[in-house]
Amino acid sequence: MDAVGASLSANIHGTSDGEDLGVNGGDPTLGAPQNGQRRNGPLLDHVEGQRFLEEAFQIILEEALRQGVDPKEKVCEWKDPEELRTLLDLQLRDGGESHDQLLQRVRDVVKYSVKTCHPLFFNQLFAGVDYHALAGRFLTETLNTSLYTYEVAPVFVLMEEVVLSQLRSLVGWEEGDGIFCPGGSVSNMYAMNVARYRAFPQVKLQGLWAVPRLAVFTSQEGHYSIYKAASFEGIGLENVFLVNVDERGRMIPEDLDLKIELAKMQGAVPFLVSATSGTTIQGSFDPLDRIADICEKHGLWMHVDAAWGGSVLLSQRHRHLMKGIERVDSVAWNPHKMLLTGLQCSVLLLKDTTNLLKQCHCANAGYLFQQDKFYDVSLDTGDKSVQCGRRVDCLKLWLMWKAVGTQGLEERVDKAFTNTRYLVEEMKKREGFRLVNEPQFVNVCFWFIPPSLRVMEDSEDYRERLAKVAPTIKERMMRKGSMMVGYQPQKGRVNFFRMVVLSPQIRQEEMDFFLDEIESLGRDM
Amino acid sequence: MDAVGASLSANIHGTSDGEDLGVNGGDPTLGAPQNGQRRNGPLLDHVEGQRFLEEAFQIILEEALRQGVDPKEKVCEWKDPEELRTLLDLQLRDGGESHDQLLQRVRDVVKYSVKTCHPLFFNQLFAGVDYHALAGRFLTETLNTSLYTYEVAPVFVLMEEVVLSQLRSLVGWEEGDGIFCPGGSVSNMYAMNVARYRAFPQVKLQGLWAVPRLAVFTSQEGHYSIYKAASFEGIGLENVFLVNVDERGRMIPEDLDLKIELAKMQGAVPFLVSATSGTTIQGSFDPLDRIADICEKHGLWMHVDAAWGGSVLLSQRHRHLMKGIERVDSVAWNPHKMLLTGLQCSVLLLKDTTNLLKQCHCANAGYLFQQDKFYDVSLDTGDKSVQCGRRVDCLKLWLMWKAVGTQGLEERVDKAFTNTRYLVEEMKKREGFRLVNEPQFVNVCFWFIPPSLRVMEDSEDYRERLAKVAPTIKERMMRKGSMMVGYQPQKGRVNFFRMVVLSPQIRQEEMDFFLDEIESLGRDM
C-alpha cells in the first residue's frame, strides 16, 4: 500500500492542474487496472459511475419490474441455500470487478430474489409496486440526507410535517405530533416509551428502579413487537398482560378490565393498553370505543397498533372498523403495507400537543441542535427520535399521494376489500377450502383439506395430517415458483394458510389461479 | 364513493375478459381523469408507471447527480421555511396530479434539497456518492423485501452473512455474530441490551425490578446515543457514568477504573463500557487496549461505538488507532459514513458465538418463523432483531465492495487522512485559522479568528465575540449556497467549526476553496 499512499500524497501535495484529480476522473494512476482486476477507480469516476447507474437502471426496469410484475413469470426462482451460495459468489476480495461483471451481479441478484411486486405474491403484509412511490424512493436514495435538521433536509422536514398532519386528520385529530419510524415495531416501542414518560417522567433520569413494577396490556393476538418492546425497554415479558379475544380474534373489553384489576392486585401499575387494528394473522379489529372507555376509567395511555389495518381510515366505507380511533393517545400505522409505498414507511401519530415526544427522547446534542442558528430551530426535529440519523421515509408516500390523490388511495383500500369478498365467495363454492373465520379485513385464513382428508372425522390423527398440508403445499409452490402465500398454526388451530389480497394490482384471474393452484398442489395428499 | 365501489364490484364479479382489469391498465373508468385532476389510475397502470419511473430517473441523473456533484453549482438553494412551504405546495388533496406536474414535483424536490454529494458538503459525517452503492440502493428499493426469512430474502440473508463475516474479519474475529441496524444509535442500543442480557438474563422476563441498579460507562465525548439508549431501555440517564477525557478527547482509562469503583460504592452494578473509536466532534480514538484491561478486570461487556471511526480498520496504515479492537465484545460501525454506501448502512458486530443476540431478542413469532419449513430455519435471522420488518442494508455495501475491492476501500480511507493532513498544513499557513487540536482522524476542528479579533487579548468579551463568528459565517455560506460545514461549542470552548474531509471525491481545489471562502465570509467581522 505504500506505493499507492505515496502516489496519493504526491497528488495532493503536487499540482492541481486538471479535471483528472478527482471529481471528473480520479487520479489516472489509481483509476487504472491493478493486477488486471480493479477497474473502478476507488476514488470515483463520476462519468463512469453514472454510466453504470444508467445501465443498472435498465436492468432493474426490465428484469425486476417488467418481468417481476408479469403473471407469466415465476414469483421466485427457488434455490437451496448451498446452491445459491455457489451461484452468487458472494465473497468479497481485495480487487474489484469489471463493469460487465458488476452488471451481471445486478442481474443475478434480481434473478434469485423473490418478486414481491408479482401479482401472485401473497406471503407478507406488503406486496405490489407503486411507481410514483418507487420514483420517490430512488430520489430519496440519491439525495442521501438525514432527517434531523432543517439545514440538511429542508424539503423533507416540511414534507414530513404535512404528511403527518394529513395522516392525523384521517385519525380525526386537528393537531398533534408524530414521527416516521424504522418499522411498525419501533413505532410501538416509541409509543410505550412516551406513555411511560407521561406516567413516570422520572424513569428517563433514574431508570425503572425509581417506580413500581409497570404493566402493559395487549390482546392474545396482538403483535409480538409489544413483547419485544417490553423486554427492550426493561419492563419484562412477564409484565405484558394478555387480554382474551373473542372467537374472531378481537380483544374482549371486559377481560381487559379484569386483567387491569388483576395486575393491580399483583402490585403492578398499569400504564399502557395497546389495542390492535388489523391483527397480523386474522386481520381482526379490536373494539376501540369500548377499550377507550376502560382506558379512560383507569387513566391509561391507549395506543393502537394499526400498522396493518390503519389504511382503512382512508375508506369511507370501511373506517367504521376503527370507530373510536380519535379517542386514543397514539397510533402506529405502516403505509408500506396496504398503501404500497414500499419498505419502510411507518408512522407513529400522537394526539399530544405538549411536545411529549421530544421531551421524552431529547438529549440536546450540541453538535446537531445548536440553539444559535439563524432559522427557527423548532424545525430541527431530530431530537424527537431515539435514532440519530433518520431516513427520509415521507417522500415516497407524499409523491404517490400527489399522484393518485386521497380518492385514489381510498379506491385501493376499497378494492382490496372487494377482492377479498370475491375470494371468500369462490372458496365457499369449492369443496376443499374451509375458512378459519369469516374475514373482517383482507386476511383470508383457511385450511385446504386434500381429498384423502375430506372423508375423515375430526381426530388427533386428522389434525396431525392436516397440519402437514400447508407446509407441503408451500414447499411445492416455492420449488415451482408459481406463487407465495404464508401459513402458521394459531392457538389450538393446526397450520392454516393466511392469504392477503392487499395489492390493487390483483385481478380475478390471479385469485382464480390461486385457488386452482392450491387444489392442484394438494390434489395427491 | 358508492358509484366507484359499484364499478369495482362489477369488475370483479363480472367478466374477466381483458388486460384492462388490473395488471395492464386498470379499470378504464377509474383510470380516466375525474374533475380534470386525477390522471394516474390508482389501481396502477404498469406501462404508464414505468414510463414515469424512467423519466424521473433521467431527472434524478441530470439534476441531482450531474449537477449535484458539479463544484460550480450550489450546495444548497437556501429558502426560509415559510417561503419554501409556498414554493413546494406540499398539501395533499383528494384528486391526483398529471404526469407532467409530478415530474415537476421531482425537479422541485431536487432543486431545494441539499446536495450532500457535492464536493463542498462537509456538514455531517456522511458526504459524496458512490454509484455502485447507489445502484445497489435502487435495486434494494425495487426488490422491496424484508430481511427476516430466507424464503422472502434468500439472496440477502446469504449476502448479509458474508458481509458481516468480512467486517468481523477486519475486527480480527474468525467467527461471531452481527446484524444490520437502522443507524448507529440503534446498534449501540442493541449492544446495551445484549450486554444486559448476558449479565442478567432475567431482565428479559422480569424487567429491571429483578436486578439491582445497573451502571453504564462512556466518555464525556461519547455519542449521545448512549444516553438515549440508557433512557429508552429503562436504565436512566443518571446511571450513565461519564469518564473523563484527556486533552485530545480520549477516554482516560484510569478514570474509568475510578468511575467503576464509584458506581459500585453508590450501590450500582456496572455491566457495560462503551468506548468510542472516532468521537463525533473531535474524531478521537479511545485507547481500546487499556480500556479492555479494565473491562476484563471488572468482568464488564466492552462495546465500541466505532460508527464513525470503524472504517480505519480497512487501512493498514491507520488501523493502529483501534489497537485492541479484537478484545472487545461488540462493535458498532457505519459504512454509510466514511465508506460512502449511503444512508443507512450500520452494523453491530459481536464476538459472541452462543447465539446471544437471538436469545436476547427472540419472540418466536409463529407466523414468520415456522419450525416446520422445508429449509434450514436457522437462516430465518429476523428474530435477532427488535424490529419485525427489516430493510436490506447489505446490498449497497456488497456491490460497492465487489466494484472496488478491499484495496479500493482502503485507498479511500487513506485518501481521507491524506486530505486532512493537507488541510491542516494549509490552515497553519494562514493567519486566521486556529486549530482546536491536532487531528487524530479526519475531523478538523478550528476557530476562524476574523481580523478584528486577531488583535484582541483573550477575555470574556473576546470569547463572546468569537462564539458568534461560526454561526454568522455558517448563515452566510448557507444563504449563498457556496458550501456547508458544521459548528458547535464543546465544554469550555466557544463555537468552533468541525470540518470533515471524508469523501475521496475531494480534491485540493475544494480544500483551498474552503479556506478561501471562510476567510472571505468572515473578512468584515
- Contact across the interface for A471 and B373, Cβ inside 8 Å: yes
Mean pLDDT over A3-27 rounds to: 34
Strands of A238-284, DSSP E: 240-243, 269-276
Residues of B in contact with A372 (CB under 8 A): 467-468, 471, 495
Tens of pLDDT along B369-409?
889 999 999 999 999 999 999 999 999 999 999 999 999 99
Residues of A in contact with B223 (CB under 8 A): 388
CA atoms in the 13 A half-sphere facing the CB of B302: 24
Parallel, antiparallel, or unpaired: how do β-strands A443-448 and A493-500 relate? antiparallel
- Contact across the interface for B142 and A134, Cβ inside 8 Å: yes
Residues of A in contact with B163 (CB under 8 A): 92
Mean pLDDT over A371-381 rounds to: 91
Q: Is the pLDDT of residue B2 over 60?
A: no
User: How do the domains of chain B map onto residue ranges?
Assistant: 1-40, 146-391, 403-522
CB proximity under 8 Å: B 183-242 to A: 183-186, 189, 193, 203-210, 213-214, 223-225, 227-239
Q: From the list A79, A92, A375, which residue is nearest B406 (CB)?
A: A92
Instruction: Give per-residue burial for A288-311: e unless 16+ CB within 10 Å, then b.
Output: bebbbbbbeebebbbbbbbbbbbb
pLDDT of residue B174: 97
- Contact across the interface for B131 and A50, Cβ inside 8 Å: yes
Q: Is the pLDDT of residue B341 over 60?
A: yes
**How many Cβ pairs closer than 8 A exist between chain A and B?**
627
Mean pLDDT over A473-477 rounds to: 98
Q: Is the pLDDT of residue B4 over 70?
A: no
Q: pLDDT category, A491, cuts 50, 70, 90? A: confident
The rounded distance, in Å, linking the Cα atoms of A471 and A459 is 20
- Contact across the interface for B236 and A206, Cβ inside 8 Å: yes
The rounded distance, in Å, linking the Cα atoms of B150 and B379 is 6
- Contact across the interface for B234 and A162, Cβ inside 8 Å: no
Parallel, antiparallel, or unpaired: how do β-strands A330-333 and A301-305 relate? parallel
pLDDT of residue B40: 55
- Dihedrals φ, ψ of A304, to 5°? -120, 120
Q: Does the model's pTM come out above 0.90?
A: yes
What 3 state SS string does A433-456 have?
Answer: EEECCCCCCCEEEEEECCHHHHCC
Q: Is the pLDDT of residue A364 over 60?
A: yes
The rounded distance, in Å, linking the Cα atoms of A283 and B502 is 48
pLDDT of residue A40: 54
Alpha helices in B33-80 (DSSP H): 46-59
Tens of pLDDT along B154-170?
999 999 999 999 999 99
Q: Please, what is the average pLDDT of chain A?
A: 92
Tens of pLDDT along A154-199?
999 999 999 999 999 999 999 999 999 999 999 999 999 999 999 9
Same fold, B146-391 and B403-522: no
Instruction: Look up residue B483 and give its three cell numbers.
Output: 458550501
Tens of pLDDT along B244-294?
999 999 999 999 999 999 999 999 999 999 999 999 999 999 999 999 999
Sign of the C-alpha dihedral computed for residues B29, B30, B34 and B40 taken in this order: negative
Q: Are B105 and B506 in contact (CB under 8 A)?
A: no
Q: Comparing C-alpha atoms, which of A187, A328, A248, A262 is closest to residue A490?
A: A248
The rounded distance, in Å, linking the Cα atoms of A205 and A517 is 58
pLDDT of residue A43: 75
Identify the architecture of domain A146-391 in CATH: 3-Layer(aba) Sandwich (3.40)
Q: pLDDT category, A367, cuts 50, 70, 90? A: confident
Q: pLDDT category, A410, cuts 50, 70, 90? A: very high
Instruction: Look up residue A310 and give its three cell numbers.
Output: 390503519
B420 lies within 8 A of chain A by CB: no
Tens of pLDDT along B301-317?
999 999 999 999 999 99
| Bond preceding residue B508 cis, omega within 30 of 0 | no
- Contact across the interface for A56 and B135, Cβ inside 8 Å: yes
Residues of A in contact with B476 (CB under 8 A): none
Tens of pLDDT along A212-227?
999 999 999 999 999 9
Residues of A in contact with B363 (CB under 8 A): 224, 227-228
Q: Comparing C-alpha atoms, which of B213, B127, B391, B520 is closest to residue A342?
A: B391
Cβ neighbors of B428 (< 8 A, separation 6 or more) are B435
Q: Comparing C-alpha atoms, which of A486, A488, A402, A497 is closest to residue A449?
A: A497
The rounded distance, in Å, linking the Cα atoms of B331 and B195 is 12
B459 lies within 8 A of chain A by CB: no
Tens of pLDDT along A46-102?
999 999 999 999 999 999 999 999 999 999 999 999 999 999 999 999 999 999 999
- Dihedrals φ, ψ of B490, to 5°? -150, 125
CATH domain B403-522 topology: Aspartate Aminotransferase, domain 1 (3.90.1150)
- Contact across the interface for A84 and B154, Cβ inside 8 Å: yes
- Contact across the interface for A504 and B414, Cβ inside 8 Å: no
Q: pLDDT category, A450, cuts 50, 70, 90? A: very high
pLDDT of residue B41: 61
Q: Comparing C-alpha atoms, which of A31, A30, A26 is closest to residue A6?
A: A30
Q: Please, what is the average pLDDT of chain B?
A: 92
CA atoms in the 13 A half-sphere facing the CB of B326: 9
The rounded distance, in Å, linking the Cα atoms of B165 and B157 is 12
Sheet containing strand A493-500, strands side by side: A121-122, A484-490, A493-500, A443-448, A433-435
Q: Is the pLDDT of residue B47 over 70?
A: yes
Among B415, B417, B480, most A C-beta atoms within 10 A, so best to mutate, is B415
CB proximity under 8 Å: B 342-361 to A: 342-344, 361
DSSP code of residue A472: H
Radius of gyration from C-alpha coordinates of chain A: 27
Parallel, antiparallel, or unpaired: how do β-strands B346-350 and A346-350 relate? unpaired
Q: Are A146 and A390 in contact (CB under 8 A)?
A: yes
Instruction: Look up residue A163 and give its three cell numbers.
Output: 404528511
Mean pLDDT over B416-421 rounds to: 96
- Contact across the interface for B143 and A113, Cβ inside 8 Å: yes
Q: Residue A496's beta-bridge partner residues?
A: A488
- Contact across the interface for B507 and A23, Cβ inside 8 Å: yes
Cβ neighbors of B267 (< 8 A, separation 6 or more) are B212, B213
Residue type, B228: K
Q: Are A12 and B419 in contact (CB under 8 A)?
A: yes
Strands of A71-149, DSSP E: 121-122
Q: From the list B119, B156, B224, which residue is nearest A23 (CB)?
A: B119
Mean pLDDT over A427-432 rounds to: 97
Tens of pLDDT along A246-277?
999 999 999 999 999 999 999 999 999 999 99
Mean pLDDT over A347-372 rounds to: 93
Q: pLDDT category, A2, cuts 50, 70, 90? A: very low
- Contact across the interface for B509 and A21, Cβ inside 8 Å: yes
Taking residue A129's Cβ as centre, other Cβ atoms within 10 Å add up to 25
- Dihedrals φ, ψ of A490, to 5°? -155, 125
B32 lies within 8 A of chain A by CB: no
Among A12, A105, A124, A144, most B C-beta atoms within 10 A, so best to mutate, is A144
Q: Comparing C-alpha atoms, which of A517, A154, A197, A138 is closest to residue A329?
A: A197
- By percentage, how much of chain B surpasses pLDDT 70? 92
To the nearest whole Å, the CA of A312 is away from the closest chain B CA by 14
CA atoms in the 13 A half-sphere facing the CB of A395: 29
Parallel, antiparallel, or unpaired: how do β-strands A493-500 and B330-333 relate? unpaired
Among A98, A140, A232, most B C-beta atoms within 10 A, so best to mutate, is A232
